[in-house]
Chain A
Amino acid sequence: MAIAERPAQRGTAPQPGAGSGSDGAPLEFHVFKGIPGEEQGEVTYRVPPVTGMVVLDAIHWIQKHVDTDLACRWNCKAAKCGSCSAEINGMPRLMCKTRIDDLPDGPITVRPMTAFPLIKDLVTDVSHAYEVNRRIPQFTPAADEPSPFVIQEMDLERIYEFRKCIECFLCQDVCHVLRSHDLQEQFYGPRFFVRVASLEMHPKDTVDRLEAVRTEGGLGYCNITKCCTEVCPEHIHITDNAIIPLKERVADRHWDPLRAVSRLLLGKR
């Protein structure tokens, strides 16, 4: 639903096509605006194209010249902080890394992430993610582990990748367990399986998080569709390198009959 078409206000907007670096006809953006419980919908804006512009540039232009109260979250504008997550033409992406000229011709739709509750316009409430993180026990080396650590790089190779995560939560947004089934209370989500994997695979960590990730983490809900991997702007192999190895560890622990017998006899997990 389009609630309005907003012309530039207060005579401040440069004419589309004017100014250095501008070229061609104005771009059409359909940007979601709204607050929960009130009228919501897409507003059409025409933005002068600028060479090499990204979607976040267009949002900033709109804020500056048309709608000073259009809300979006952003920080670094260099794909390092993971703040400006949105759904661009229906695809979860970082606005700062999405070039206009990489998108097909025609109107560009920008909407907030679906899997998180809306606050306003393009901004959603991601506090649930921070609550999940707090439930995962932190890195804990043995008390008598000497410091500084001696660790071979080959023993860290697997987890360097996980530490690249910029917490944009696009993987949480695209995951159907959260997006379509709303199982927020029963499912950590891909970002936090990556987090658990980075801790479980750290050679100096001593805490066992497998039971928690199986039960309260809901690891079994993931049916490895790899949507999370596909949207990750850091190209982390979330499914193959984090989730599947965790599933294997849980399967070994819980469903291996030999281990079940040894658990029974020896009373160990």
Chain B
Amino acid sequence: MIPESYDTIDCDVLVIGAGGAGLRAAVAAGEAGCDTVVVTKSLLGKAHTVMAEGGIGAALGNVDPRDNWGVHFADTMLGGQLLNSWRMVEIFAQEVIDRVYELERWGGLFDRTPDGRISQRAFGAHTFWRLAHVGDRTGLELIRTCQDRAVHAPNVTVHMEYTLTTLLKDGDRVVGAAGYRRNDGTFVVFRAKAVVLGSGGWGRMYKHTSNSWEGTGDGAALAYRAGAELLDMEFVQFHPTGMIWPPGARGILVTEAVRGEGGRLYNSLGERFMERYDPKKMELSSRDVVARSIYKEAQAGRGSPHGGAFLDVRHRGAEYIRKRLPSMVEQFHALASVDITTEPMEVGPTIHYTMGGVRVAPETGATTVPGLYAAGEVSGGLHGANRLGGNSLGDILVFGKRAGEAAATEVAGRAHVAVDERQVEAEQRALLAHLDPHEEGENPYLLHEALQEAMQDDAGIARTEESLTRSLHAIQELCERAPRMRVGGRRILNPGWHTCRDVVNMLVISEAIVRSALERRESRGSQWRLDFPDLSEEQGRVNYVTDDGGDGMRIRAVPREPIPPRLQRLIDEELALRAVTTIPVRPDQRIEGPAVAAVGREA
């Protein structure tokens, strides 16, 4: 028997998540005439999209007319070490241009070129100046624009501060979702003809992360439990420079512009250690190399007091620093009481983004489960082994729209199916089991902390078979303790109770990360195996796919689809260009913009 009654809400398309991907999908489905419901854990407009800073990579060619989608395609494939879904990258590089102009037509603001077009800035590994941006708050502009579009769109209803904890199925097909209202703890069921996941990535299982509390991997965990396949789960991006001290500021991003303006990295012995790892490019080496170098120094006992490195820009002089890095001056002053014009910053790698995710069809975002779609960071395939800065905001717009449209097409002629009470009952019982004021049990916050320790140290930036195995054992032990999580209080806005489910979801996703990382016996993109330090040609031909094998998690190698010659040619041309030049822009078009970035994610 069902422990408790629940409300049932019917819709055509249910969108889970209200970041850029979810909102763009909802607008698409609503405009296609579908009764569309958006459900978000938070308030509308607070999703992690607001943290994006740098801009939207799109080959508009406004600043450098040599740019075109083909170069963007090649840059993205090369950044992803060719593990990307080439078809997703092709669609992305072609369509992101229209998505940027669409955003402008919806009221989104961008910085302008002198002739009144959308301006673009340079960014790491983009051959040309490509990022459409507005100051250092492009993500906020994107989400506010999509938010206003969605609340005024026909047929779109938003439910804020609901947590959906399971997808409901009818046979193989996803037919809705169940969960609870956070503010009063009452249960709710959504019946839908198609479900779109736009629920973002996961970083909260790591100790040092720039992710908000929401990054618990709910969407991927829901999809996994519903039978969907996950892809490339081993690839978790570290940004080399996050704040690591004081604790309150731990993980907050320190923009790459600090190094761009001449910032130098030192270890505790005062050595400029990048000389050891990349004497040519030094601090301006690629993100993965710099992150690994900082890590190596700390491991060798030469780290800063809190396990990172010192980033020092004092030699540029106080006036120059205040002019070029005003937001960094403010950030360190406000949060760390550090005057970066007279003191070094203490920095270390911080979890930034997850390349892996739910496996989807490139054209539609359809997952391997009928009725279920995914778009944005929750999905995998676009970014391969490593994401380029500036490619996440375009991702959510291009594939959010496509998933919303595909879902809208699928619902035509379909009817709702009756709710399977047994599924709802099992879910309610699982949720209520954690709430018992009389029984002593595990504290969910401390379990979360233990998971963070296990992931940060053993499944973080540097991995070995031994460390990953240790991490896996820790996760398995936590999985055994997780059912004993108990909290007191009632269901009205009870964060301890909410955390119980977050921990369960993070454990599933952590296991997928660790098991996939164990399988990939090579170093590629964000995956750095100390015991397999080189690229492996054989492993470069496969993606690792995770699914529920019935008696536990299963990891399979799936051959990568060969890149067709017309697209391979674009990659070859780009490689030839890189061999002769490293200058990303014509000197006469160099634009003096404000120094990039303050707090959060850079793109």
Q: Is the CB of B116 within 8 A of A150?
A: yes
The stretch that binds A, out of B77-85, B106-114, B164-172, B522-530, is B106-114
Q: How far apart are the CA atoms of A149 and B496 in the complex, in Å?
A: 49
Q: Is the CB of A156 within 8 A of B493?
A: no
Q: How far apart are the CA atoms of A125 and B160 in the complex, in Å?
A: 11
Q: Is the CB of B497 within 8 A of A69?
A: yes
A120 contacts partner chain B, Cβ-Cβ < 8 Å: yes
Q: Is the CB of A12 within 8 A of B443?
A: yes
Q: Is the CB of A163 within 8 A of B445?
A: no
User: 1/0 per position for A115-152, CB-CB distance to B under 8 A?
Assistant: 00001110101110010011001110100000111111
Instruction: Give the contacting residue for B46; candidates A35, A75, A78; CB below 8 A.
Output: A75
User: When A68-B445, A81-B212, A163-B144 are in contact, do A149 and B105 touch as well, CB less than 8 Å?
Assistant: yes
Q: How far apart are the CA atoms of A138 and B141 in the complex, in Å?
A: 15
Q: Which residue of B lies closest to A77 (CB)?
A: B212
Instruction: Give the contacting residue for B440; candidates A10, A63, A127; CB below 8 A.
Output: A10
Q: Is the CB of B107 within 8 A of A202?
A: yes
Q: How far apart are the CA atoms of A12 and B447 in the complex, in Å?
A: 12
User: 1/0 per position for B334-371, CB-CB distance to A under 8 A?
Assistant: 11110000000000000000000000000000000000
The stretch that binds B, out of A24-32, A46-54, A171-179, A211-219, is A46-54
Q: Is the CB of B497 within 8 A of A21?
A: no
Chain B residues within 8 Å of A35, by CB:
492
- Interchain nearest-CB distance for B208 vs A (Å): 13
A244 contacts partner chain B, Cβ-Cβ < 8 Å: no
User: When A74-B213, A148-B101 are in contact, do A130 and B44 touch as well, CB less than 8 Å?
Assistant: yes
Q: How far apart are the CA atoms of A127 and B43 in the complex, in Å?
A: 9
B301 contacts partner chain A, Cβ-Cβ < 8 Å: no
Q: How far apart are the CA atoms of A9 and B499 in the complex, in Å?
A: 18
Q: Which residue of A lies closest to B599 (CB)?
A: A78
Q: How far apart are the CA atoms of A65 and B444 in the complex, in Å?
A: 11
Q: How far apart are the CA atoms of A218 and B337 in the complex, in Å?
A: 43
Q: Is the CB of A52 within 8 A of B249?
A: yes
Q: How far apart are the CA atoms of A10 and B158 in the complex, in Å?
A: 39
B137 contacts partner chain A, Cβ-Cβ < 8 Å: yes
Q: Is the CB of A78 within 8 A of B493?
A: no
The stretch that binds A, out of B146-154, B231-239, B263-271, B453-461, is B146-154
- Interchain nearest-CB distance for B246 vs A (Å): 3
Q: How far apart are the CA atoms of A77 and B247 in the complex, in Å?
A: 12
Q: Is the CB of B495 within 8 A of A63?
A: yes
Most central of B101, B449, B489, B490 by chain A CB within 10 Å: B489
Number of contact residues on A: which range applies?
Answer: 35 or more
Q: Is the CB of B109 within 8 A of A159?
A: yes
Q: How far apart are the CA atoms of A151 and B247 in the complex, in Å?
A: 44
- Interchain nearest-CB distance for B573 vs A (Å): 27
Q: Is the CB of B443 within 8 A of A68?
A: yes
Q: How far apart are the CA atoms of A198 and B315 in the complex, in Å?
A: 41
B487 contacts partner chain A, Cβ-Cβ < 8 Å: yes
Q: Is the CB of A52 within 8 A of B443?
A: no
Q: Is the CB of B46 within 8 A of A69?
A: no
User: 1/0 per position for B96-128, CB-CB distance to A under 8 A?
Assistant: 000001001111010110011110000000000
User: When A80-B600, A139-B107, A148-B118 are in contact, do A21 and B246 touch as well, CB less than 8 Å?
Assistant: yes
Chain A residues within 8 Å of B427, by CB:
none
Q: Which residue of B lies closest to A153 (CB)?
A: B112
Q: Is the CB of A147 within 8 A of B104?
A: yes
User: 1/0 per position for B314-349, CB-CB distance to A under 8 A?
Assistant: 000000000000000000001111000000000000
Chain B residues within 8 Å of A120, by CB:
183, 492-493
- Interchain nearest-CB distance for A199 vs B (Å): 7
Q: How far apart are the CA atoms of A21 and B307 in the complex, in Å?
A: 13
Q: Is the CB of B247 within 8 A of A68?
A: no
Chain A residues within 8 Å of B105, by CB:
141, 147, 149
B488 contacts partner chain A, Cβ-Cβ < 8 Å: yes
Q: Is the CB of B600 within 8 A of A151?
A: no
B494 contacts partner chain A, Cβ-Cβ < 8 Å: yes
Most central of A21, A74, A149, A152 by chain B CB within 10 Å: A149
A255 contacts partner chain B, Cβ-Cβ < 8 Å: no
Chain B residues within 8 Å of A75, by CB:
42, 46-48, 212-214
- Interchain nearest-CB distance for A149 vs B (Å): 6
Q: How far apart are the CA atoms of A65 and B493 in the complex, in Å?
A: 18
Instruction: Give the contacting residue for A151; candidates B116, B160, B212, B446; CB below 8 A.
Output: B116
Number of contact residues on B: which range applies?
Answer: 35 or more
Q: Is the CB of B488 within 8 A of A52?
A: no
Chain A residues within 8 Å of B279, by CB:
none
User: 1/0 per position for A56-87, CB-CB distance to B under 8 A?
Assistant: 11000001110011111111111111110000
Chain A residues within 8 Å of B443, by CB:
10, 12, 64, 68
Q: Is the CB of A52 within 8 A of B116?
A: no
Q: How far apart are the CA atoms of A202 and B137 in the complex, in Å?
A: 19
Chain A residues within 8 Å of B116, by CB:
149-153
Q: How far apart are the CA atoms of A64 and B117 in the complex, in Å?
A: 50
User: When A68-B443, A163-B134 are in contact, do A138 and B149 touch as well, CB less than 8 Å?
Assistant: yes
B230 contacts partner chain A, Cβ-Cβ < 8 Å: no
Q: How far apart are the CA atoms of A167 and B47 in the complex, in Å?
A: 12
Q: Which residue of B lies closest to A35 (CB)?
A: B492
User: 1/0 per position for B122-143, CB-CB distance to A under 8 A?
Assistant: 0000000000001101001100
Chain B residues within 8 Å of A56, by CB:
248
User: When A82-B46, A121-B493 are in contact, do A64 and B112 touch as well, CB less than 8 Å?
Assistant: no
Q: Is the CB of A52 within 8 A of B152?
A: no
Chain B residues within 8 Å of A80, by CB:
50-51, 137, 140, 599-600
Chain B residues within 8 Å of A156, by CB:
109, 112
Q: Is the CB of B51 within 8 A of A53?
A: no
Q: Is the CB of B446 within 8 A of A64?
A: yes
Chain A residues within 8 Å of B599, by CB:
78-80
Q: Is the CB of B248 within 8 A of A52?
A: yes
Most central of A53, A54, A134, A148 by chain B CB within 10 Å: A148
Q: Which residue of A lies closest to B253 (CB)?
A: A78
Q: Is the CB of B600 within 8 A of A133?
A: no
Q: Is the CB of B144 within 8 A of A21?
A: no
- Interchain nearest-CB distance for A61 vs B (Å): 10
Chain A residues within 8 Å of B47, by CB:
75
Q: Is the CB of A68 within 8 A of B488?
A: yes
Q: How far apart are the CA atoms of A244 and B415 in the complex, in Å?
A: 53
Q: Which residue of A lies closest to B119 (CB)?
A: A153
Chain B residues within 8 Å of A147, by CB:
101, 104-105
User: 1/0 per position for B210-244, CB-CB distance to A under 8 A?
Assistant: 10111000000000000000000000000000000
Chain A residues within 8 Å of B44, by CB:
130
Q: Is the CB of A83 within 8 A of B42?
A: yes
- Interchain nearest-CB distance for B153 vs A (Å): 9
Tell me the B residues contacting A by CB distance below 8 Å. Answer: 42-48, 50-51, 101, 104-107, 109, 111-112, 115-118, 134-135, 137, 140-141, 144, 148-149, 151-152, 158, 160, 183, 210, 212-214, 245-249, 252, 306, 334-337, 440, 443-446, 449, 487-490, 492-497, 499, 599-600
Known A-B contacts: A68-B494, A76-B48, A81-B46. Give 20 more (CB < 8 A).
A21-B246, A50-B246, A50-B248, A51-B247, A64-B446, A71-B494, A71-B495, A75-B42, A75-B46, A75-B47, A78-B600, A123-B183, A123-B493, A130-B43, A130-B160, A134-B151, A137-B152, A152-B116, A163-B137, A163-B140
17 cross-chain CB contacts under 8 A: A35-B492, A52-B245, A52-B249, A52-B337, A69-B490, A71-B492, A75-B42, A75-B213, A78-B51, A81-B50, A83-B43, A83-B46, A101-B337, A133-B148, A148-B118, A156-B112, A163-B144
Tell me the A residues contacting B by CB distance below 8 Å. Answer: 10, 12, 20-21, 35, 50-54, 56-57, 63-65, 68-83, 97, 99, 101, 119-121, 123, 125-127, 130, 133-134, 137-139, 141, 147-153, 156, 159-160, 163-167, 199, 202, 205
The 3 tightest CB contacts between A and B, nearest first, are A52-B246, A68-B496, A139-B107
